[in-house]
Every structure is written in structure tokens, then in C-alpha cells.
Amino acid sequence: MAGNIKVEIVTPEKAVVSEDAQIVVAPGAQGEFGVLVGHTPFMTTLKAGSVRYTDAGGKEREVFVSGGFAEALPDKVTVLAESAERRSDIDAERAGASKDRAEKRLAEDRSSEDIDFIRARAALERALQRLQIISSRN
């Protein structure tokens, strides 16, 4: 089915993306999924990762999301993210420093029940996802 689908990525602070896309691919909690115009409606949770889409002009776009929810409708995909950054807005130095801090915390404490360990693991995953997104720049 040819045509474009509206993609919106919003956080509690701002709208990050609102444009037409040919396809949207997102990191669902149960695995990556793709949505084209006319898709069957559904909702899902998201894990930290990359929302990729091809804009109406055929250009590949990428946005980091740190989790949240996605709703797919036949003509629209809405991502409600805890936080989101366009690839061009990701600060490589900050992401690297965050990765280093998380790795240091993980090396200090091996108790998987400890809340700091769980938060450090989540911070490391977010930092690695950001670094992966910026390293894939064309």
C-alpha cells in the first residue's frame, strides 16, 4: 500500500518529531517493529533504542528514545517517550562520559538486586544506544 504515515515523537517536555514518513521502525519491548500506512492498530511499550523512519522525501532519519509507549494507527504512529533526541542533537562527549560512569558503577557493585546496579545497567544501555546511533552517521 503506497502512501505516507504521520510520525510523532513526543516527550513530557516537547514534540521532537512531527512529519510524514514512508515507514517507521521502533524498538518495541518484545522486539523491533515496522509500520507502514494502513497498518492494523496496536499499542506497545518501547525499550531504549532507535526509532528510524524514512521521511516523505526518502531521507533516513533516526531518533534515540529511552523508552515509553508507541501507538500505531492506519495513518499515524505516535511515540510517547521518556526522553528523545534526534541523531544530530546527541552529544558524543556526554554519551561517552555517561557510559564511563555507568561502567565504573557496575564494576564496583555486582549485586543484581541493588537498585544502583539496576540503574547503572539502564544508564549504560542508554549511553551505548546513543553512541551507536551517532556512530552510524553517513
pLDDT tens profile 58-108:
999 999 998 899 999 999 999 999 888 887 776 777 777 777 777 777 777
Task: Check which CATH number belongs to the domain holding 11 and give it.
Answer: 2.60.15.10
Q: Rounded mean pLDDT of 101-121?
A: 68
Number of domains in the chain: 2
Task: Specify the pLDDT at position 138.
Answer: 43
- Assign 54 a pLDDT band (cuts: 50, 70, 90): very high
Q: Which domain holds residue 116?
A: 91-135
Q: Residue 111 above 80 pLDDT?
A: no
Q: Does 16 lie in the same domain as 69?
A: yes
pLDDT in tens, 21-46: 999 999 999 999 999 999 999 999 99
Q: Does 104 lie in the same domain as 51?
A: no
Position with higher pLDDT, 36 vs 109: 36
How would you write the chain as a 3-class SS string? CCCCEEEEEECCCCEEEEEEEEEEEEEECCEEEEECCCCCCEEEEEEEEEEEEEECCCCEEEEEEEEEEEEEECCEEEEEECCEEEHHHCCHHHHHHHHHHHHHHHHHCCCCCCHHHHHHHHHHHHHHHHHHHHHCCC
Task: Check which CATH number belongs to the domain holding 108 and give it.
Answer: 1.20.5
Task: Specify the pLDDT at position 101.
Answer: 76
